[in-house]
Amino acid sequence: MQEKKKMNLGVKILIGLVAGIIVGAIFWMAMGADAAGAFTAKYIKPFGDIFVNLLKFIVVPLVLLSIMDGVISMGDIGKVGKIGWKTVAYFLVTTAIACIIGLIVANIFKGAFPVLSLAEDAAYEAKSSNLMDTIVNIFPNNAIAPLSSSSMLQIIVISLAFGCGILVAGDKGKPFGDFITSFNEVTQRVMGFILALSPYGVFALMVWVVAAQGPKILGHLGLVLLAAYIGYIIHVVLVYSMSVKVFAKMSPITFFKKVFPAAAFAFTSTSSVASLPITRECCDDMHVDSEVSSFVLPLGATVNMDGTAIYQCVAAIFLAKCIGIDLTLTQMIIIVVTATLASIGTAGTSGAGMIMLAMVLDAVGVPPTYIGIIYGIDRLFDMGRTALNVVGDASCAVCVNHWEGNNNA
Protein backbone atom coordinates (compact mmCIF):
# COMPACT_ATOMS: atom_id res chain seq x y z
CA MET A 1 0.00 0.00 0.00
CA GLN A 2 1.37 3.42 -0.93
CA GLU A 3 2.23 5.57 2.07
CA LYS A 4 0.14 8.70 2.35
CA LYS A 5 2.22 11.82 1.85
CA LYS A 6 2.14 14.22 4.79
CA MET A 7 1.19 17.83 4.22
CA ASN A 8 4.10 20.29 4.50
CA LEU A 9 4.06 22.47 7.64
CA GLY A 10 4.34 25.58 5.48
CA VAL A 11 1.16 24.58 3.65
CA LYS A 12 -0.61 23.98 6.96
CA ILE A 13 0.44 27.42 8.21
CA LEU A 14 -0.80 29.00 4.99
CA ILE A 15 -4.15 27.23 5.42
CA GLY A 16 -4.31 28.49 9.03
CA LEU A 17 -3.53 32.00 7.82
CA VAL A 18 -6.21 32.00 5.11
CA ALA A 19 -8.78 30.41 7.41
CA GLY A 20 -8.00 32.96 10.12
CA ILE A 21 -8.39 35.85 7.68
CA ILE A 22 -11.73 34.52 6.43
CA VAL A 23 -13.15 33.84 9.89
CA GLY A 24 -11.85 37.16 11.25
CA ALA A 25 -13.40 39.04 8.31
CA ILE A 26 -16.72 37.30 8.93
CA PHE A 27 -16.67 38.39 12.59
CA TRP A 28 -15.69 41.93 11.56
CA MET A 29 -18.52 42.25 9.03
CA ALA A 30 -21.13 40.57 11.23
CA MET A 31 -20.38 42.23 14.58
CA GLY A 32 -18.41 45.38 13.83
CA ALA A 33 -14.80 46.05 14.79
CA ASP A 34 -15.32 46.80 18.51
CA ALA A 35 -17.61 43.87 19.30
CA ALA A 36 -15.68 41.44 17.09
CA GLY A 37 -12.37 42.53 18.61
CA ALA A 38 -13.67 42.08 22.15
CA PHE A 39 -15.25 38.69 21.42
CA THR A 40 -12.23 37.21 19.63
CA ALA A 41 -9.83 38.65 22.24
CA LYS A 42 -11.78 36.82 24.96
CA TYR A 43 -12.54 33.48 23.33
CA ILE A 44 -10.16 32.90 20.37
CA LYS A 45 -6.96 34.86 20.99
CA PRO A 46 -6.08 32.87 24.17
CA PHE A 47 -5.31 29.84 21.98
CA GLY A 48 -2.85 32.00 20.05
CA ASP A 49 -1.40 33.21 23.34
CA ILE A 50 -0.72 29.60 24.32
CA PHE A 51 1.33 29.17 21.15
CA VAL A 52 3.27 32.40 21.81
CA ASN A 53 3.93 31.31 25.40
CA LEU A 54 5.39 28.05 24.13
CA LEU A 55 7.64 29.99 21.74
CA LYS A 56 8.86 32.11 24.65
CA PHE A 57 9.36 28.97 26.76
CA ILE A 58 11.69 27.33 24.23
CA VAL A 59 13.75 30.47 23.51
CA VAL A 60 16.06 30.26 26.54
CA PRO A 61 17.13 26.60 26.21
CA LEU A 62 17.30 26.92 22.41
CA VAL A 63 19.59 29.96 22.47
CA LEU A 64 21.75 28.65 25.33
CA LEU A 65 22.31 25.21 23.83
CA SER A 66 22.38 26.13 20.14
CA ILE A 67 25.11 28.73 20.58
CA MET A 68 27.17 26.45 22.80
CA ASP A 69 26.81 23.61 20.30
CA GLY A 70 27.70 25.96 17.45
CA VAL A 71 30.92 26.95 19.20
CA ILE A 72 31.69 23.31 20.03
CA SER A 73 31.17 22.32 16.39
CA MET A 74 34.14 24.50 15.44
CA GLY A 75 36.41 21.88 17.04
CA ASP A 76 39.66 22.60 18.83
CA ILE A 77 40.39 26.34 18.87
CA GLY A 78 44.09 25.83 18.19
CA LYS A 79 43.40 23.52 15.25
CA VAL A 80 40.78 25.77 13.73
CA GLY A 81 43.32 28.60 13.78
CA LYS A 82 43.28 31.27 11.12
CA ILE A 83 40.49 29.82 8.97
CA GLY A 84 38.08 29.66 11.89
CA TRP A 85 38.57 33.18 13.13
CA LYS A 86 38.51 34.67 9.62
CA THR A 87 35.28 32.81 8.91
CA VAL A 88 33.57 33.83 12.14
CA ALA A 89 34.74 37.45 11.76
CA TYR A 90 33.36 37.58 8.21
CA PHE A 91 30.01 36.13 9.31
CA LEU A 92 29.63 38.48 12.28
CA VAL A 93 30.59 41.61 10.31
CA THR A 94 28.27 40.84 7.37
CA THR A 95 25.45 39.99 9.78
CA ALA A 96 25.92 43.28 11.64
CA ILE A 97 25.81 45.12 8.28
CA ALA A 98 22.65 43.14 7.40
CA CYS A 99 21.04 44.32 10.64
CA ILE A 100 21.89 47.95 9.84
CA ILE A 101 20.48 47.61 6.32
CA GLY A 102 17.33 46.02 7.74
CA LEU A 103 16.87 48.86 10.25
CA ILE A 104 17.44 51.56 7.61
CA VAL A 105 14.93 50.02 5.19
CA ALA A 106 12.39 49.42 7.99
CA ASN A 107 12.66 53.02 9.20
CA ILE A 108 12.10 54.28 5.64
CA PHE A 109 8.92 52.19 5.48
CA LYS A 110 7.92 52.88 9.09
CA GLY A 111 5.65 55.79 8.24
CA ALA A 112 3.44 53.44 6.21
CA PHE A 113 3.27 50.75 8.91
CA PRO A 114 0.02 50.68 10.92
CA VAL A 115 -0.67 51.46 14.56
CA LEU A 116 -3.17 48.84 15.67
CA SER A 117 -5.91 49.95 18.06
CA LEU A 118 -5.64 47.10 20.54
CA ALA A 119 -6.48 48.41 24.00
CA GLU A 120 -4.77 45.72 26.05
CA ASP A 121 -1.34 46.89 24.94
CA ALA A 122 -2.00 50.62 25.20
CA ALA A 123 -0.17 50.87 28.52
CA TYR A 124 2.77 48.74 27.42
CA GLU A 125 6.08 50.59 27.61
CA ALA A 126 9.18 49.52 25.77
CA LYS A 127 12.34 48.94 27.76
CA SER A 128 14.77 51.80 27.51
CA SER A 129 18.18 52.57 28.94
CA ASN A 130 21.26 54.52 27.99
CA LEU A 131 23.94 52.88 25.85
CA MET A 132 26.57 52.42 28.57
CA ASP A 133 24.06 50.75 30.92
CA THR A 134 23.11 48.43 28.07
CA ILE A 135 26.77 47.49 27.48
CA VAL A 136 27.38 46.85 31.18
CA ASN A 137 24.20 44.79 31.49
CA ILE A 138 25.28 42.49 28.66
CA PHE A 139 27.72 40.83 31.07
CA PRO A 140 25.98 38.81 33.81
CA ASN A 141 26.96 38.79 37.47
CA ASN A 142 24.95 35.63 38.07
CA ALA A 143 24.80 32.44 36.03
CA ILE A 144 21.20 31.55 36.91
CA ALA A 145 19.33 34.87 36.99
CA PRO A 146 19.60 35.55 33.23
CA LEU A 147 18.04 32.15 32.51
CA SER A 148 15.04 32.76 34.77
CA SER A 149 14.52 36.34 33.58
CA SER A 150 15.14 35.56 29.87
CA SER A 151 17.87 38.21 29.64
CA MET A 152 18.93 37.23 26.13
CA LEU A 153 22.12 39.23 25.71
CA GLN A 154 23.44 37.80 28.97
CA ILE A 155 22.41 34.29 27.92
CA ILE A 156 24.37 34.72 24.68
CA VAL A 157 27.47 35.77 26.66
CA ILE A 158 27.08 32.74 28.96
CA SER A 159 26.72 30.45 25.94
CA LEU A 160 29.82 31.81 24.23
CA ALA A 161 31.87 31.64 27.43
CA PHE A 162 30.97 28.03 28.23
CA GLY A 163 31.26 26.97 24.59
CA CYS A 164 34.81 28.33 24.40
CA GLY A 165 35.56 26.81 27.81
CA ILE A 166 34.57 23.37 26.54
CA LEU A 167 36.91 23.70 23.56
CA VAL A 168 39.83 24.92 25.65
CA ALA A 169 39.30 22.12 28.20
CA GLY A 170 40.07 19.57 25.47
CA ASP A 171 39.50 15.92 26.38
CA LYS A 172 38.25 16.82 29.86
CA GLY A 173 35.59 19.04 28.36
CA LYS A 174 34.47 16.50 25.75
CA PRO A 175 31.92 14.65 27.98
CA PHE A 176 30.21 17.93 28.81
CA GLY A 177 30.37 18.92 25.13
CA ASP A 178 28.71 15.63 24.14
CA PHE A 179 26.00 16.28 26.74
CA ILE A 180 25.38 19.78 25.34
CA THR A 181 25.17 18.41 21.79
CA SER A 182 22.70 15.74 22.91
CA PHE A 183 20.67 18.20 24.98
CA ASN A 184 20.58 20.61 22.03
CA GLU A 185 19.24 17.85 19.77
CA VAL A 186 16.46 17.14 22.30
CA THR A 187 15.67 20.86 22.45
CA GLN A 188 15.43 21.00 18.67
CA ARG A 189 12.90 18.16 18.78
CA VAL A 190 10.84 19.96 21.44
CA MET A 191 10.94 23.04 19.23
CA GLY A 192 9.60 20.86 16.43
CA PHE A 193 6.64 19.86 18.63
CA ILE A 194 5.90 23.53 19.31
CA LEU A 195 6.22 24.53 15.66
CA ALA A 196 3.75 21.79 14.77
CA LEU A 197 1.15 23.91 16.59
CA SER A 198 1.92 26.89 14.34
CA PRO A 199 -1.14 26.57 12.08
CA TYR A 200 -3.49 26.70 15.07
CA GLY A 201 -1.64 29.61 16.69
CA VAL A 202 -1.62 31.53 13.41
CA PHE A 203 -5.33 30.86 12.91
CA ALA A 204 -6.30 32.11 16.38
CA LEU A 205 -4.15 35.23 16.23
CA MET A 206 -5.19 36.13 12.67
CA VAL A 207 -8.88 35.77 13.55
CA TRP A 208 -8.34 38.22 16.41
CA VAL A 209 -6.26 40.72 14.41
CA VAL A 210 -8.54 40.78 11.33
CA ALA A 211 -11.70 40.89 13.46
CA ALA A 212 -10.37 43.88 15.39
CA GLN A 213 -8.63 45.72 12.54
CA GLY A 214 -10.48 44.65 9.42
CA PRO A 215 -9.04 43.19 6.21
CA LYS A 216 -6.94 46.35 5.65
CA ILE A 217 -4.19 44.78 7.78
CA LEU A 218 -3.40 42.47 4.84
CA GLY A 219 -2.06 45.38 2.79
CA HIS A 220 0.37 46.20 5.58
CA LEU A 221 1.65 42.60 5.55
CA GLY A 222 2.51 42.99 1.89
CA LEU A 223 4.35 46.22 2.73
CA VAL A 224 6.55 44.64 5.41
CA LEU A 225 7.29 41.74 3.03
CA LEU A 226 8.38 44.26 0.38
CA ALA A 227 10.61 46.03 2.90
CA ALA A 228 12.34 42.76 3.82
CA TYR A 229 13.02 41.81 0.19
CA ILE A 230 14.40 45.26 -0.57
CA GLY A 231 16.79 44.72 2.33
CA TYR A 232 17.75 41.29 0.97
CA ILE A 233 18.50 42.71 -2.49
CA ILE A 234 20.53 45.64 -1.14
CA HIS A 235 22.63 43.29 0.99
CA VAL A 236 23.33 40.93 -1.91
CA VAL A 237 24.17 43.70 -4.38
CA LEU A 238 26.29 45.84 -2.05
CA VAL A 239 27.85 43.60 0.60
CA TYR A 240 28.47 40.36 -1.29
CA SER A 241 29.45 42.08 -4.54
CA MET A 242 31.99 44.24 -2.74
CA SER A 243 33.26 41.32 -0.64
CA VAL A 244 34.09 39.03 -3.56
CA LYS A 245 35.45 41.94 -5.61
CA VAL A 246 37.65 43.48 -2.91
CA PHE A 247 38.66 40.46 -0.84
CA ALA A 248 38.67 37.66 -3.44
CA LYS A 249 39.47 39.65 -6.60
CA MET A 250 36.56 37.93 -8.36
CA SER A 251 34.01 39.47 -10.69
CA PRO A 252 30.66 39.78 -8.86
CA ILE A 253 28.86 38.76 -12.07
CA THR A 254 30.94 35.57 -12.25
CA PHE A 255 30.29 34.87 -8.59
CA PHE A 256 26.51 35.25 -8.87
CA LYS A 257 26.39 33.10 -12.00
CA LYS A 258 28.32 30.34 -10.25
CA VAL A 259 26.32 30.46 -7.00
CA PHE A 260 22.88 30.77 -8.65
CA PRO A 261 22.06 27.00 -8.53
CA ALA A 262 22.58 26.92 -4.76
CA ALA A 263 20.59 30.13 -4.25
CA ALA A 264 17.71 28.81 -6.36
CA PHE A 265 17.61 25.54 -4.44
CA ALA A 266 17.73 27.38 -1.10
CA PHE A 267 14.90 29.67 -2.23
CA THR A 268 12.60 26.73 -2.91
CA SER A 269 13.72 24.40 -0.09
CA THR A 270 14.11 27.11 2.62
CA SER A 271 16.92 25.04 4.14
CA SER A 272 20.56 26.07 4.32
CA VAL A 273 21.53 22.59 5.49
CA ALA A 274 19.73 20.82 2.63
CA SER A 275 21.45 23.20 0.20
CA LEU A 276 24.95 22.26 1.41
CA PRO A 277 25.80 19.68 -1.32
CA ILE A 278 24.83 22.10 -4.11
CA THR A 279 26.64 25.00 -2.42
CA ARG A 280 29.72 22.81 -2.17
CA GLU A 281 29.54 22.05 -5.92
CA CYS A 282 29.22 25.76 -6.68
CA CYS A 283 32.31 26.49 -4.57
CA ASP A 284 34.21 23.69 -6.32
CA ASP A 285 33.28 25.34 -9.60
CA MET A 286 34.83 28.57 -8.27
CA HIS A 287 38.02 26.64 -7.39
CA VAL A 288 37.60 26.98 -3.63
CA ASP A 289 39.94 24.58 -1.83
CA SER A 290 38.03 21.61 -0.38
CA GLU A 291 39.63 22.12 3.04
CA VAL A 292 38.22 25.64 3.15
CA SER A 293 34.75 24.83 1.80
CA SER A 294 34.36 21.75 4.03
CA PHE A 295 34.89 23.98 7.08
CA VAL A 296 33.24 27.26 6.04
CA LEU A 297 30.01 25.97 4.47
CA PRO A 298 28.76 23.68 7.29
CA LEU A 299 29.66 26.34 9.85
CA GLY A 300 27.88 28.96 7.75
CA ALA A 301 24.75 26.83 7.55
CA THR A 302 24.72 26.96 11.37
CA VAL A 303 25.85 30.46 12.28
CA ASN A 304 25.61 32.71 9.19
CA MET A 305 22.12 34.17 9.03
CA ASP A 306 22.30 37.54 7.25
CA GLY A 307 18.84 37.10 5.73
CA THR A 308 17.39 36.21 9.12
CA ALA A 309 19.02 39.30 10.64
CA ILE A 310 17.42 41.61 8.05
CA TYR A 311 14.06 39.92 8.58
CA GLN A 312 14.28 40.26 12.37
CA CYS A 313 15.11 43.98 12.16
CA VAL A 314 12.31 44.75 9.69
CA ALA A 315 9.82 42.65 11.68
CA ALA A 316 10.84 44.27 14.99
CA ILE A 317 10.28 47.79 13.64
CA PHE A 318 6.97 46.72 12.08
CA LEU A 319 5.63 45.03 15.22
CA ALA A 320 6.81 47.87 17.47
CA LYS A 321 4.93 50.33 15.27
CA CYS A 322 1.84 48.12 15.50
CA ILE A 323 1.55 48.95 19.20
CA GLY A 324 2.62 52.55 18.82
CA ILE A 325 6.23 52.19 20.00
CA ASP A 326 8.93 54.20 18.24
CA LEU A 327 12.18 52.47 19.06
CA THR A 328 15.05 54.67 20.25
CA LEU A 329 18.58 54.62 18.81
CA THR A 330 19.74 52.64 21.83
CA GLN A 331 17.05 50.05 21.28
CA MET A 332 18.02 49.76 17.61
CA ILE A 333 21.63 49.18 18.65
CA ILE A 334 20.37 46.45 20.99
CA ILE A 335 18.56 44.88 18.02
CA VAL A 336 21.79 44.90 15.98
CA VAL A 337 23.83 43.32 18.80
CA THR A 338 21.16 40.77 19.71
CA ALA A 339 20.34 39.74 16.13
CA THR A 340 24.03 39.51 15.21
CA LEU A 341 24.96 37.29 18.16
CA ALA A 342 21.70 35.36 17.92
CA SER A 343 22.62 34.37 14.37
CA ILE A 344 24.96 31.83 15.97
CA GLY A 345 21.95 30.17 17.55
CA THR A 346 19.64 30.33 14.55
CA ALA A 347 20.24 26.85 13.22
CA GLY A 348 19.12 25.68 9.79
CA THR A 349 15.90 24.34 11.30
CA SER A 350 12.75 25.60 9.62
CA GLY A 351 10.93 28.03 11.89
CA ALA A 352 13.91 28.77 14.15
CA GLY A 353 14.08 32.34 12.82
CA MET A 354 10.63 33.03 14.26
CA ILE A 355 11.73 31.89 17.71
CA MET A 356 14.80 34.11 17.44
CA LEU A 357 12.49 37.00 16.55
CA ALA A 358 10.70 36.47 19.88
CA MET A 359 14.07 36.85 21.56
CA VAL A 360 14.92 40.06 19.68
CA LEU A 361 11.52 41.56 20.49
CA ASP A 362 11.90 40.71 24.16
CA ALA A 363 15.34 42.35 24.25
CA VAL A 364 13.80 45.75 23.36
CA GLY A 365 10.58 45.31 25.32
CA VAL A 366 8.16 44.64 22.47
CA PRO A 367 5.62 41.94 23.42
CA PRO A 368 5.92 38.86 21.18
CA THR A 369 2.14 38.45 21.00
CA TYR A 370 2.08 40.09 17.59
CA ILE A 371 4.38 37.51 16.03
CA GLY A 372 1.23 35.77 14.87
CA ILE A 373 0.46 38.73 12.59
CA ILE A 374 3.38 37.96 10.29
CA TYR A 375 3.94 34.28 11.07
CA GLY A 376 1.36 33.26 8.50
CA ILE A 377 3.52 34.65 5.69
CA ASP A 378 6.80 33.56 7.27
CA ARG A 379 7.36 31.07 4.46
CA LEU A 380 7.56 33.97 1.99
CA PHE A 381 10.13 35.72 4.18
CA ASP A 382 11.97 32.43 4.67
CA MET A 383 12.48 31.77 0.95
CA GLY A 384 14.36 35.03 0.43
CA ARG A 385 16.34 34.96 3.66
CA THR A 386 17.51 31.35 3.15
CA ALA A 387 18.72 32.14 -0.37
CA LEU A 388 20.57 35.15 1.04
CA ASN A 389 22.13 33.02 3.79
CA VAL A 390 23.44 30.47 1.27
CA VAL A 391 24.92 33.15 -1.00
CA GLY A 392 26.61 34.59 2.10
CA ASP A 393 28.14 31.19 2.95
CA ALA A 394 29.56 30.90 -0.56
CA SER A 395 30.94 34.46 -0.53
CA CYS A 396 32.71 33.74 2.75
CA ALA A 397 34.23 30.53 1.35
CA VAL A 398 35.51 32.42 -1.70
CA CYS A 399 37.01 35.21 0.42
CA VAL A 400 38.63 32.91 2.98
CA ASN A 401 40.01 30.79 0.15
CA HIS A 402 41.73 33.87 -1.29
CA TRP A 403 43.02 34.96 2.13
CA GLU A 404 44.60 31.53 2.54
CA GLY A 405 46.59 32.10 -0.64
CA ASN A 406 44.51 29.91 -2.95
CA ASN A 407 43.55 31.01 -6.45
CA ASN A 408 39.82 31.39 -7.21
CA ALA A 409 40.38 31.73 -10.94
Give dist(CA 347, CA 69) in Å, integer. 10
Give dist(CA 120, CA 116) in Å, integer. 11
- Looking at residue 123, its pLDDT comes to 35
pLDDT along the chain (409 residues), means of 10: 57 82 88 84 86 78 77 64 77 87 88 62 42 70 83 76 86 91 87 82 82 73 87 92 90 90 78 75 86 76 79 85 79 78 56 68 75 73 85 92 75
CA-wise closest residue to 344 among 163, 131, 76: 163
- Looking at residue 23, its pLDDT comes to 92
Domains of the chain by residue range? 9-403
Distances (CA, A) of 155 to 43, 67, 182, 323, 403: 35, 10, 19, 27, 33
Residues 6+ apart with CB under 8 A from 41: 118, 120, 208, 212
- Looking at residue 302, its pLDDT comes to 67
- Looking at residue 153, its pLDDT comes to 67
The b/e string for 362-393 (b: 16+ C-beta within 10 A; e otherwise) is bbbbbbbbbbbbbbbbbbbbbbbbbbbbbbbb
Q: Provide the CATH topology of domain 9-403.
A: Proton glutamate symport protein (1.10.3860)
- Looking at residue 274, its pLDDT comes to 66
- Looking at residue 343, its pLDDT comes to 61
- Looking at residue 125, its pLDDT comes to 42
